Amino acid sequence: MEILESLRDNYFYFTGVVLFMIGFHTMLTHSNLIKKVIAMNIMDTSVFLMFVSIGYVHGAKPPIMDTMHPEGVYINPLPSALIITGIIVAISITAFALSLVVKIYQHYGTIDADEIAEIRGSEE
């Protein structure tokens, strides 16, 4: 019973771990390069969720200072601010990876990693 209560109270951590496992499994088991890029984005999202949930405090106020009533507990704004940079980096990496997939398709005629390995093996 305690385990269920713990999962209920920390569902965002559990969701982050499950999303990361889904992305990691997809990266390992699929040979389609576009699916690998999507899996990488799922893993990024799970890390963002975990990091933002670390800064969240249940029942706390947003991190906007009230000059009339400055006392109280506030949510930590630093993780949220850092995640904005992480999202921008993730978008840049996704765009770069997709452009590489397009170039690979133009060169090899496929986006399947196993077929590309076979083609590269027969070239040597």
The pTM (predicted TM-score) of the whole model is 0.81
For residue range 78-106, list pLDDT tens digits in order: 888 889 999 999 999 999 999 999 999 99
pLDDT at residue number 17 = 92
Confidence category of residue 108, pLDDT binned at 50, 70, 90: very high
Helix spans in 1-124 (H): 2-9, 11-29, 33-55, 78-108, 113-123
Q: Which residue ranges make up each domain of the chain?
A: 2-61+71-123
Most confident of 2-6, 12-16, 71-75: 12-16
pLDDT at residue number 22 = 97
Contact in structure between 51 and 12 (CB atoms under 8 Å) = no
CATH assignment, 2-61+71-123: 1.10.287.3510
